[in-house]
Structure 1
Amino acid sequence: MTDLRSPLPPTPPPTLPRSTADLFGDPVDVYPPWLNPTAFVGPEFDPESYISDLRAFVPLETLRSELQSHLSSLQKELVDLINRDYSDFVSLSTKLIDIDACVVRMRAPLLDIKEKILAFRDAVDASLVALKSRLKQRADANQTREVLELLLDTFHVVSKVEKLIKELPDVPVDLANGYVNSGAKDNGFSLQNVENGTSLRETQSMLLERIASEMNRLKFYIAHAQNMPFIENMEKRVQGASLLVDTSLGHCFIDALEHRDANAIYNCLRAFAALDNIKNAEEIFRSTVVMPFMEKIFPAGGDGKSTDELEQDYQRIKQFINDDCKFLLEISAAENSGLHVFSFIANSILKEVLSAIQKGKPGAFSPGRPTVFLKNYKSSLDFLAHLEGYYHTRSAVAKFRSEAVYAEFMKQWNIGVYFSLRFQEIAGTLDESLRAASLAPVQDLSSDSSNFQSLVLKQSVSLLDCLRACWRDDVLVISFADKFLRLTLQLLSRFSNWLSTGLAARRSSNVGSNPGTEWAISAVPEDLIYVIYDLHLLADEVSDDYLGHVTELLQSCPTEVLDLVKQSILHAGKSLQDLLPLVMNSIIDTLVEKSVKDLMQLKGITATYRMTNKPLPVRHSQYVSGVLRPIKTFLDGERASKYLTAEMKNDLLQRTASEITRRYNELATELVSVTRRTESSLQRIRIGAQRRTGTGASSDVPEQNLSDTEKICMQLFLDIQEYARNLAALGVDARNIPEYCSLWESVAPPDKRNSISF
C-alpha cells in the first residue's frame, strides 16, 4: 500500500483514451449519452432505481463496464488531487492533537444523558401500559353497558308489545257499522277512540300499527343481540307475540277489506310494511277478495259450455278490478304513504288470474289452435296494458314487468310454437298449389276475384293469399314481425324458384331431374300469357299496396329498420319482374319452333329443281304462308288480346320475327351453299367425262340454259319476298331485320341485291 506521507511519483499529464479521440485527434465525449456521472452526487440519487431505468435499454454487462471505467477514472482523479495538494494533505494529520482526551471528556455527559433518557422512556412505557389497560376497561364497560341497555330495551319492548296486545279491543262488534257496542271494554285507548267516534275496526288497526312499529324495533334489537342467553330465553315470548300480532293483523285486514274501511286498511298496510310482511298482505287480498271472484269466472272442472277464449273473461275481470279492487290500489298508490312496496296488481290479481286460467281453461294457452291462441294472446296483452294503467309512473310499470309472476304469465304464451304452426300452414298452402301438374286458372275468369283483383292462375292467387296471410291481424304477432317478414321473402323466393326452374326444364325438355316442373312441359304459349299477366300484377302489388300495408304495421320501428324492410320487399318484387323476360323467351322459343317446322319444307326446293328441266319459278312456295301463322294465331287469340298490352305484343312480335328470320336465313344460306357445292362437283365430273371421250363442247361457248342453283335461288327470292309481305301485314318491316338483309343478299338476283323491295 502506498504511504500517503511519501511523495507520489510524478504523474504524466492526462491524455484522452484512445476511444475518446477520433481519427483526426479531436476529443469526443468520454461517457456514452445514457450515462450521466453528475446524477451520482444528487441528494435524491437511488442506485436501484437508476439501474432499473437503464437496464430497459442498456445491457447489464455494458453498464457494469462503463461504471468500472468511471470508478477507475475517479480513483485516478483522487490520486491526482492528492499529488497536487500533497503538502496540505500531510499537514492535516499534524493538527489532530489530543483527540483521545477530547473523546473521553465528551463521553461522560453523553452517557449521563443516555441514562436519563432510558429512565424516562421506561416511565412513559409504564404510563402507556396503564393508560391502555384503563381504556380497555372503559371500552369493556361501555360495551357491557350497551349490551345491558340493549337487553333492557328488548325486555321493555317485549313487555310493551305484550301490554299493547292485551289492549286490543276484544268486545263484540256490530258488523253493520263496525262501532263498539255499549258493553265495550273500559280501557283507556279503545274507549277514548270510541268516544271520538272512531270505529272499533279503525281503533284496532291503529293499535296494530303501533304494535307493528314496536315489533320492528324488537326485531332490530334481537338482530344485534343474537346468541345471548337472555334473548334465547325470551324467544318463546317474542314468537308468541309475533304470531298473535300476525293473526290479529290478518283478521283486522280482512274485516277492513270486507267493509272497505279506508282508514283501517291504510293502518293495516302500514303495519304490514313495518313488520316487513308484504307477502302476507298480498296473499290475504288474493285469497279473500280476488280468489272468490275468479272461482265464479273459471269454475273448477269447467261448466261444459264455456270455450277457451278469454276475451269476455278479461272484460269481467276488468270490471271486477274497477269495482272491488280499485279502492285498495288507490290506497297503496297514494303519494308519500310509504305503501309503494305492495304489489297487489302483480302478486294478488295477476297471480290469481294466471292460476285460475291454468285450472279452469288450460287450453287457452295451447298454440295447437292458432286462431284461438292468438286471440287469447292479444286479449292477454290488452289485459296487461289495462293493469299497467293503474300505475302512475314509468318506474312503477317497469317494476311490475320485472315481477316473477309477470314473467311466468308471459312464459305461458309459446309464440315460437305458434309461429311454427303458422309457417307450416302458410308455406304448406303455397307448396300444395305449386305441386300441381299444370297451370290452373281460377274457376271464373269472366269476373274479378274479390280478394286479388284479377289474378288468373290459382298458383298466383295462392301466393298473394299467403303473402297477405303473414300480415293479417288474426295471424301476425308484432313481436315476431322479423320472422313473418322472413316468411314473406321465403314465399316470394319459393314462387320465383318454382317458375324459373320450370322454365329451365321447359327449355331443356328434361323434367325427370326436376320434380314439380311438369306444368312447364305441358304448358302451351297461351298458358304462359297467364303467367306474364300475373307476374305484372304480383310485382305491382308487392311493391305498392302490399309494401304500404307492411310499413304501416311496422311504423313504430326505427327508421333504419323500416328502410331495410322496404328494401327487402322491393328487392323481392323486382325478382318477380325479372322473371318476365324468361317467360317471354319461352313463348318465343315455342312459336319459333312451330314456324321452323314449316320452314323445313324449303329443303324440298332442291328436289324440285335438281336435275330437272323445270322453267324458272315465277311465284312463291306454298310453305311461306304457314311460317308466320303460329305467331299470328297467337297474337290474334283471345288470351293475348285480353291479357297482353300492345307494348308487350309488339315486343313479342318483333323478337319472334327476328328469331324466325334468323333461322330462315340459316336454312336458306345452308341450302344455297350445299346446292352450289353439289352443282360445282357435278360440273367438274361432267367436264372430266367429256374430256376423256373427246366430245366436250368448247369452253368459250356460253351456257344457254339456267343452272339449278339459279332456279333454286330465284325460288328462295320469291319466297322471302312473300315472307316480307307477310311480316309487313303483321306490322314488321323486314328491312329493319339484319338477318333478312343478309338473306336478301344471298338469294336475290345481282341486279336487285342493292335494294330490298317486295
Structure 2
Amino acid sequence: MNSTEQSVLLTDEFFKDTFGIDDYLSKCTQKSELLTLRRDLKNYGFVLYSTMVDILKMETEDIINLAESLTNLSSKIDDLSTPVSQLCEEIRTLHLTIKDAKLCFEKHLNRVQSIRSETDRVNLKMGILSSSIYINNIITSCLQEDITVLERAINEYSFQYLYLKEMDLDSKVIDKDIINTATRLLELVHTVFLKAIQQNDEETILRSLRMYVNLSKQSEAEKYIKERIVSPTLNMIFTQKSLDLHGQNVKILYDQAIDFLNTNMKLLLMVLDRNPDTKGFNFVINSFWVEVDKQLRENLPNITAPGNPELFQRRFKDTSLFLEQIMNAANDLTLFKKNPTFQAHMKRFNLPVYFEIRFQQIAAQFEAEIITDPADFTESDIIRQKGEGNPFALQVSLALWNSIQRCFHDDVFLIPLADQFLKLMMLLTSRYLKWFESHLNKWNTSLPSSGFYKLEEFIIYSLIDTNILKNLMGSSARNLSEFDNTVFKVIPSNIRPSVKQILNINEQLLDATYLKLQQQLVIFKVQQCAIYLQQVTSIPRLYRRTNRNVPKEPSNYVIESVSPVTKLYSNYNTIMGDKIVAVMDLIIARLSEQYVSLVQEVLLSVCKTEESLRRLKNRNLTNNDDSLTQTNGDATSDEAKIREQIKLDVGHFIRELRSFAVDVGKRPLALLTEESGYRDKI
C-alpha cells in the first residue's frame, strides 16, 4: 500500500481514544469513493495480518523458554511443601508445651499465694484474738465506771476492726469470740451513756458518743435511747386514757412529748450540735420520732377522728404543727419531703373525705338560701333593715359571704386542701352570679306578678351587694401585703400570687353581673316611664278645634313619667351613694331619647297640618275670604297651643331630670331642648 492510499485511509485515526466508525467513514468518503475505500481497507487488513505473522515467528522462541522456566519453578515449589508442613507441626507442638508449662506455673503460684494468704489470715486472727483477750483483760481488771480504760479498750478494738474493714477481711476473720467482745464493749458503753444522760454529765455524754463512733455503732446508740428513755415516757403520754383525761385535746399530748424532747434530750442534742466530730447520730428522728410514730399508730389508732370534721381538722393542724416542731428540733425543715415516715403518718388523715363533708355542709347551706325566687322575696330575705351590723342587703348575698368566710376559717381551712377550698369559693361565686343571670333572662321575657316596685327594690339591693362583694374580695387582690387583713389570711404566702389572679377573675365576673343588673334596672324604669310619655301623641287631639285655653301648666303625663325617676333617687340615694348617679344618667339618656322621638313625631304632624291648611287657604282665597280667615286663625291658634303645651312638658321634664344627667344623659336632653324650642338652660 502506497502513501497515497494510507493518507486516504487515515490510519492514524485507528489509534485515537475518540475513534468512531461514523466519523471515520465520513472523513474518508470526502477524499475517495466508497468502493475505493472498501478496497483500500481490505488491502490494509492483509498488511496487518502479514505483520502479525512475522512478529509471532520472531517471539516464539522466547515464549517457549519462559514456559520451561515457569515449569521448573513450579516443580521446586512443590518440593518445598513437605519441609514447611513439618515446620508448622513442630511450632504447634512447641506452643502446646509452653501453654502446659504456663498453666502448671500459674497453679503453683496460686497455691503459694493461697498458703501465704492463709498464713497471713491465721497470723491476723491470732493478733485479733490476742487483742480481744487483751481487751477482755482490760475490761475485767478495771471497774465499770473507769471510762478512761473503757475508751482505751474501745480504741484498741476499733483500730483492729477498722484495719480488717479496710482490708475487706472483717467477714472472714471475725468469729464468735470477737463478736462477744464487741457486744460486751457496747453494753459497757450503753451503761455509761445512760448514766451520763440521767446525771446530765455533758463530758461523759460526749465521750460516750465518741466511743459509739469508734465502734461504728451509732444506730445502736439511737436504738438504746429509744428503748430505755424515749419509749417508757411516750408510752405514758400517748394513751387513750391520757387523751380522755385532757378532753380529747391531742395538742396537750403533743406538747408533753415536745416538752420531753426539749427537756430530757436537750443536753444530748446540745452536745451533738457543739461537737461536729460526733457524726452519724440523729436521735430526734431515729429515737424520738420513730417511737412517736409507732405509739401513735398502736395506742391511738383513731386519733384522726374521720367522722368528726371539727375534731379531724383540729387534730390535723395539731399534728402538722407537732411534725414541724420535730423538724425544727432536728434542724432540718425538709424532712417532710425526704423522710417517707412523715408523709405516711400524715396520710392517716383522709383529706378527701374531710373536704367532701365540708363541701356538703357549706354548699348545702348556701343552696338553701339561693333556691328562693326574687319575685317571691319576703321581708326576711331583705336584711338591711334588721340593723345587725352586716353590710349586705340580701340574705342570699350574706349566705354567699358566710360560705366564703367559712371556707377560709381557721376551724375549717387546711393548707393541703387550699386548691380545693379555692375551687369551692369560685363554684359558690359562680353559682351566685348564675342565679342572677337566670332571673335576668327570665325578666327579659316577662315581668313578675309582684310588679315594678318589688323588682326595682331587689335589683337595687343586688347592685349594692355585688359592689360590696367586689370590694371584699377584690381588695385582697390589689396588694399581697393586705392578705393578712382579709378573710384570706390563712392562705400560705407561696400561693398568694395565684390566689390574687383568682380574685381578679372573680372581681371581673362581679363587675359584669353588676353591669347586667344595672342595665336591667334601666330597662325597667324606662319601660315604667315610657308608658306615660306615649301620651304626648294625644296633645294634638286635646287642642284641635276644642277652643281650649292656652296651656300654662305641664301635662299630667310628664309629671307621672318623671316621678318614678325622681323617686328612685330619693329612695335609694342614701344607701347607694355615688353609684345611683350612673344609674340615673343611663335612665335619663334612654328616656330622653324616646321622648325626643315622640316629640319629633308630634311636631312633624303639627307641621304637616299647618302646611295642609296653608294650601287650602290659597285654593279658596277668592271664594270665602272671611270664613277662611276665621278658620285659618283658629288652626294657627290650635297649633300654637300644641307647641306651647309641648314646651311646658319638655320644660318640666328637663327641670326635673337635668340635675341627674352627668354624662350620657346630657346630649339627649340638649336634643330634646332643641326640638321642642324650650329656651331654659340645662
The residue that corresponds to 1:182 in the other structure is none
Aligned counterpart for 2:328 among listed residues 389, 395, 400: 389
Aligned counterpart for 2:521 among listed residues 587, 608, 629: 587
Aligned counterpart for 1:434 among listed residues 370, 387, 395: 370
**1:441/1:456 contact within 8 Å kept:** yes
Q: 1:304 aligns to what SS in structure 2? A: helix
Q: 1:541 aligns to what SS in structure 2? A: helix
* 1:392-471 correspondence to structure 2 within 5 Å: 401-437=337-373, 438=377, 440-442=381-383, 448-449=389-390, 454-471=391-408
The residue that corresponds to 1:296 in the other structure is 236
Distance 1:714 1:248, change over 3 A: farther
1:644 corresponds to 2:570: no
**TM-score scaled to structure 1, two decimals?**
0.64
Letter paired with 1:586: Q
**1:253/1:264 contact within 8 Å kept:** no
* 1:274-289 correspondence to structure 2 within 5 Å: 278=219, 281-289=221-229
The residue that corresponds to 1:720 in the other structure is 646
Letter paired with 1:12: F
Q: CA–CA distance in 1 between the matches of 2:164 and 2:335? A: 26
**1:273/1:339 contact within 8 Å kept:** no
The residue that corresponds to 2:434 in the other structure is 497
Q: Deviations over 1:409-444 (max 9, x none)?
A: 232233444444444444444444433443834365
The residue that corresponds to 1:190 in the other structure is 140
Question: Higher mean Cα deviation, 331-340 or 522-531?
Answer: 331-340
**TM-score scaled to structure 2, two decimals?**
0.70
Q: CA–CA distance in 2 between the matches of 1:473 and 1:138? A: 83
Question: Higher mean Cα deviation, 399-408 or 242-251?
Answer: 242-251
Distance 1:427 1:103, change over 3 A: same
Aligned counterpart for 2:511 among listed residues 557, 570, 577: 577
* 1:507-656 correspondence to structure 2 within 5 Å: 507-509=444-446, 523-545=454-476, 547-548=478-479, 556-557=493-494, 564-599=498-533, 614-615=547-548, 618-619=551-552, 620-637=554-571, 639-645=572-578, 648-656=579-587
Letter paired with 1:406: F
Letter paired with 2:292: V
Letter paired with 2:238: F
Q: CA–CA distance in 2 between the matches of 1:658 and 1:218? A: 96
Q: CA–CA distance in 2 between the matches of 1:435 and 1:304? A: 43
Distance 1:398 1:671, change over 3 A: closer
The residue that corresponds to 1:357 in the other structure is 296
Q: CA–CA distance in 2 between the matches of 1:143 and 1:380? A: 63
1:347 corresponds to 2:281: no
Indicate the structure with greater helix content. 2
Q: Deviations over 1:606-636 (max 9, x none)?
A: 87678x7555764554333222111122222
Q: Deviations over 1:136-169 (max 9, x none)?
A: 42255146537745884797599679868xx76x
Q: Deviations over 1:41-71 (max 9, x none)?
A: xxxxxxxxxxxxxxxxxxxxxxxxxxxxxxx
Distance 1:11 1:669, change over 3 A: closer
Identity of aligned residues (%): 16
Q: CA–CA distance in 1 between the matches of 2:528 and 2:75? A: 143
Q: 2:146 aligns to what SS in structure 1? A: coil
Q: 2:658 aligns to what SS in structure 1? A: coil
**1:311/1:376 contact within 8 Å kept:** yes
Letter paired with 1:346: I
Q: 1:569 aligns to what SS in structure 2? A: helix
Aligned counterpart for 1:312 among listed residues 252, 263, 268: 252
Q: CA–CA distance in 2 between the matches of 1:209 and 1:338? A: 18
**1:433/1:459 contact within 8 Å kept:** yes
The residue that corresponds to 1:69 in the other structure is none
How many angstroms does 1:332 deviate by? Answer: 6.4
The residue that corresponds to 1:41 in the other structure is none
Q: CA–CA distance in 2 between the matches of 1:292 and 1:525? A: 73
1:266 corresponds to 2:209: yes
Q: CA–CA distance in 1 between the matches of 2:156 and 2:240? A: 37
How many angstroms does 1:523 deviate by? Answer: 3.6
Gaps of 5+ in 1: 1-8, 26-81, 169-186, 226-233, 512-517, 681-696, 749-754
Q: 1:16 aligns to what SS in structure 2? A: coil
Q: CA–CA distance in 2 between the matches of 1:739 and 1:188? A: 115
Aligned length: 612
Q: CA–CA distance in 2 between the matches of 1:331 and 1:421? A: 48
Letter paired with 1:724: V
1:12 corresponds to 2:29: no
RMSD: 5.5
Q: CA–CA distance in 1 between the matches of 2:160 and 2:347? A: 38
Q: 1:316 aligns to what SS in structure 2? A: helix
Distance 1:481 1:600, change over 3 A: same
Q: CA–CA distance in 2 between the matches of 1:606 and 1:331? A: 108
Q: 1:389 aligns to what SS in structure 2? A: helix
Distance 1:599 1:336, change over 3 A: closer
Distance 1:360 1:616, change over 3 A: same
Gaps of 5+ in 2: 1-10, 28-50, 198-203, 612-621
Q: CA–CA distance in 1 between the matches of 2:255 and 2:59? A: 116
Distance 1:359 1:629, change over 3 A: same
Q: CA–CA distance in 1 between the matches of 2:355 and 2:633? A: 80
Q: Deviations over 1:92-112 (max 9, x none)?
A: 636638636964996699579
**1:476/1:484 contact within 8 Å kept:** yes
**1:346/1:403 contact within 8 Å kept:** no
Q: 2:14 aligns to what SS in structure 1? A: coil
Q: CA–CA distance in 2 between the matches of 1:443 and 1:479? A: 37
The residue that corresponds to 1:96 in the other structure is 66
**2:336/2:342 contact within 8 Å kept:** yes
Q: Point out which structure has higher relative CO (alpha carbons under 8 A, 6+ apart).
A: 2
Q: Deviations over 1:296-333 (max 9, x none)?
A: 22234446332333333232222211222244446667
Letter paired with 2:650: A
Q: CA–CA distance in 2 between the matches of 1:112 and 1:644? A: 128
Q: CA–CA distance in 1 between the matches of 2:581 and 2:415? A: 46
The residue that corresponds to 1:133 in the other structure is 103
Q: Deviations over 1:698-753 (max 9, x none)?
A: 799848547999898666534432322222332429996558857986xx7xxxxx
How many angstroms does 1:198 deviate by? Answer: 1.0
